[in-house]
Chain A
Amino acid sequence: MANLKTFFIDPQRCIGCRSCMAACRECDSHKGMSMIYVDYIDRVTSTITLPSVCMHCVDPVCAEVCPADAIKVGPDGVVHMALTERCIYCRNCVYACPFGIPKFEPEQHLQYKCNMCYDRTAYGKSPMCATVCPSGALTYGDYEEVTAQRGGKPINIFRFGKQEVETRVFLMTPAGSNIDGLEVEGDLDETEEEFNSSPLNFIEEALAARKI
């Protein structure tokens, strides 16, 4: 099977413009809601920002914890939003996702999350967010294509303590780095407060250690 196209997130390149968020709202099936998040890691000391999309886990925890079997995965590995007729609004997925991606929309009583613009990709169009991203911080392509163009190494293994999560979406590490995955366990050992913040703080530490 040929390599499938997926997202590559490169926080080095993110300029914090939130064009992806604006574009996500424009995607026809997203009903004016943005399902991508751009966060400052620590605006006081740095302008670094991190875009977060659904990582489309190979074994999606959100789907595994869903008591109603409402979260489905497509043949291309895209983890979809909870099926409206099945979702019982229990929010298990919201609590279980190690990346903090699914959201529960109280007004509409709906779970929503990034579906990789399934309605576009099904017809050969790239997702809106990655198409418009000015800097290439969010790219849609296949593994070979992206690694051929860029110096950094894509990783898709995240270890949260004993839990290892393999994702279909890749995170670019800075050029010259040689890590196979991100160890998130260190963060878990700190304080509960830090655990509640984005586990991807580690990226910033990794970048800072390389003076980027």
Chain B
Amino acid sequence: MSMVNKTGQVNEEKDFHFHPEGRVETWKVADENGVTLVPTHCPYCGLQCGMNLKVKEGKVLGVEPREDFPFNQGKLCPKGVTAYQQVNHPDRLTHPLIKDKNGQFRQASWEEAYGLIISKIGEIQGQYGKDAFAVYSGSSLTTEKTYLMGKFARVGLGTKHIDYNGRLCMVAAATANNKAFGIDRAANPWSDILSTDCLFITGSNTAECHPIMTSYIWKARDRGCKLIMVDPRTTPMARTADLHLDLRPGTDSALANGILHILIKENMLDREFIANRTIGFEEVAKLVESYTPERVSEITGVNPRKIIAAARMWGQSQKAMLFHARGIEHHTKGVENVLSYINIVLATGQIGAEGKGYATITGQGNGQGGREHGQKADQLPGQRKIDDPAARKYISEVWGIDESEMPQAGTSIVEMFDQIHRGEIRGMLTICNNVMVSLPDLNWVKGALEKLDFMVAIDFFMSESCKFADVVLPGSAWAEDEGTTTTVEGRVVKINQAVNPPGEAKRDWEIICDLARLLGKEKYFPYHTPREIFDELRVASKGGKADYYGITYEKIDQQNGVFWPCPTEDHPGTLRLFEEKFAHPDGKARFFGYEYRPAAEVPDKEYPFYLTTGRTVYHYLSGNQTRRIGFLKEQAPEPWVEIHTQVAERLGIQNGEKVRVYTRRGEVIIPAMVVSTIRPDTLFIPYHWGPPIAANLLTVHAIDPVAKIPEYKACAAMIEKLDGDKARASGKLPEQVENSIRPERSTR
């Protein structure tokens, strides 16, 4: 019993004689106390980190790191550590609720709730047609459930109107990937990051939105990998990056064009790759000719030397990988932004090999699986297009319906809310989403919800949106059901059931099957277990781009997940895409070039700031799960607005002071966080809260013309002190803001 120093030598002079006292056995006796560890995955982001739930006597007691799952090796972010606390949470919905005439919810039996739902669906569809009843689903559901939602809408309800909340998340990337590569999946497993020489990460606050990915980045940097971060804010990863390109919100495609311009000008291209494996380079090369560093700097606000340095850092690397997230996707030109960055990857041949690659960092837990199997407005299982005659024929056969009964493509969720306003959609079933936090322009959303004749929501906590429903059905939390999700890497993993749903709550797929039965469609929904749904999904996806046919629950367990496509049962899955060819019929990737165009709304004298929204590490999506968890709530109880020190000084705003932020659509009163880690022309608000402090009261409901993703990342806003002094300096602020910005920025 002696002191030990770093080299293991003992200091004999000091002896404090520690004698263990009982409690030290706690960890060991956990198992002996009847605690079992259920291996599963985190319910939150797209990384789907492995974790063990500690379960005893039907209750989830805690979490234990799952160090044997290769992706995260036990690592968890604070959301993951505390995720288990939602299972036994006192706020859980445990009974069906029906809203009475006074607008109050009362407990009801399942029979009564189902009866009301079925009669209302009948009324609405009878009077206004099948398509007047819509389904809005989500990508935090297991893939089994997302498949079921697509089938339920089209076969159970016969409506064309189904969409999913991936529309608010990564649909711009999915659309662009399909255009460029012919398929929508990360090109590489994350382990490829470890052997790359240059990481280009744009529009991603990786540290807060995908914390576990930072361990991959640092392991790469330990062996000399360069890091380029593009973000209007100095995020925790941008702080340490080799290069931080602090661009103006909404100018991403200009920056990408500018980098390609340098790559071409300085001949840092892979001509052989361009010639053999791609189409369309010459047109794009011509397009980016005018994107000189000076012009791009003018548009983006990024110092031209940094643009050149970034292009060289990328262009001179043996192996490079490019990642992006919502920062470039949440735009009315989201698809154009993504394709402009893909051009850089293709022009330098940095794809299709170990350490060379590209991916979007999917946000939602099952963002990947949830956008593959038919809950998208225009999609059938296996990433098939609903307007493809062969796809319609095949899926109709799998489902046992006549092809003529298969609805045509529906509309995106933002368009559906316009249709509600116009009275075309009269009823809606929602599951796994919270429109009153997550859709843009919440006053417009609220107007639509109030207009609906009938709304039914399935959820396991009462959300801001559930409050607008006529019936709320208590669904299941992730630990109460089994099924698969598909991670950011395209790895299909298994969620395992730890406990049963509380009270009268039911598993989501049971509720959907019950409704289908009551709608007289029982024969199409004969499932008793998620495995039966998965087995049908396997067949439905067979031959599609996202081919799951060869994936079984057993194979997932044996291999720690299976990377799709996996076409046959003896196929091990596909770790890396595009090693030999791309997924277009001719095997070649496509360049698509776009001229930069501004955001739908840009600052003017009245609203001189860019407002951009995003996340904090403590909350997941609309916050309906995480805002109830003690630790997370303590860390981030309310949103704030980040404002640059120079501008705050100019406006007389103190750190922590409540301020009014407003746009043409609404206002919020929230505390200011005065920092120099944001562009002076930009304000940032995290979006996880509902009205009256919702960032989305301010955002604009303009959408991308192709992907229909809303522009959450750029709109025009104003900020002022609360004391009534408008502090707007008689309309001179924009110039003064600009003047105070320029000298500083250009010297950096």
Contact = CB atoms under 8 A, between A and B. Distances in A.
B76 to A, nearest CB: 4
Interface stretch (A20-28, A102-110, A185-193): A20-28
Contacts of B17: 72
B14 interface: yes
Contacts of A166: 5-6
B57 interface: no
Contact of B236 (A1, A28, A47, A80): A47
A17 B677 contact: no
Interface stretch (A8-16, A91-99, A176-184): A8-16
Interface centre among B18, B30, B219, B631 (most CB of A within 10 A): B18
A33 B378 CA distance: 50
Interface in B4-26: 4-11, 14-21, 23-26
Interface in B23-68: 23-28, 30, 62-63, 65, 67
B207 interface: yes
B424 to A, nearest CB: 44
Contacts of A118: 20, 24
A134 B239 contact: no
Contacts of A123: 27-28
B21 A2 contact: no
A134 B77 contact: yes
A15 B75 contact: no
Contacts of A196: none
B285 interface: no
Contacts of B207: 15-17, 135
Contacts of B28: 122-123
Contacts of A78: 18
Given A45-B675, A46-B677, A119-B23, A25 B214 contact: no
A74 B11 contact: no
Given A15-B208, A17-B617, A19-B78, A156 B6 contact: yes
B67 A131 contact: yes
Contact of A19 (B19, B77, B673): B77
Given A48-B239, A83-B21, A135 B4 contact: no
B674 A44 contact: yes
B222 interface: yes
B65 A149 contact: no
Contacts of A156: 6
What is the interface residue range for chain A against chain B?
Answer: 35 or more
A151 interface: yes
B222 A59 contact: no
Interface residues of B, number: 65
A18 interface: yes
Interface in A147-201: 149-151, 156, 166, 168, 170
Contacts of B211: 15, 17, 19, 134-135
Interface in A62-106: 63, 69, 71-78, 80, 83
Nearest to B81: A22
B19 to A, nearest CB: 7
A2 B240 CA distance: 34
Contacts of A69: 16
Given A15-B237, A23-B76, A73-B3, A135 B218 contact: yes
A209 interface: no
B543 interface: no
A39 B386 CA distance: 52
Interface in A41-63: 43-49, 58-60, 63
Contact of A47 (B3, B5, B235): B235
Contacts of B24: 29, 118-119, 122
Given A19-B78, A29-B26, 14 more contacts: A13-B240, A16-B207, A16-B617, A18-B78, A19-B76, A45-B676, A47-B235, A48-B239, A73-B18, A131-B65, A132-B77, A134-B212, A168-B4, A168-B6
25 contacts: A2-B8, A12-B240, A15-B208, A15-B237, A15-B617, A18-B617, A19-B80, A21-B631, A22-B82, A43-B675, A44-B675, A44-B676, A46-B677, A49-B236, A77-B3, A80-B18, A118-B24, A123-B27, A128-B65, A131-B75, A132-B77, A136-B214, A136-B215, A143-B6, A166-B6
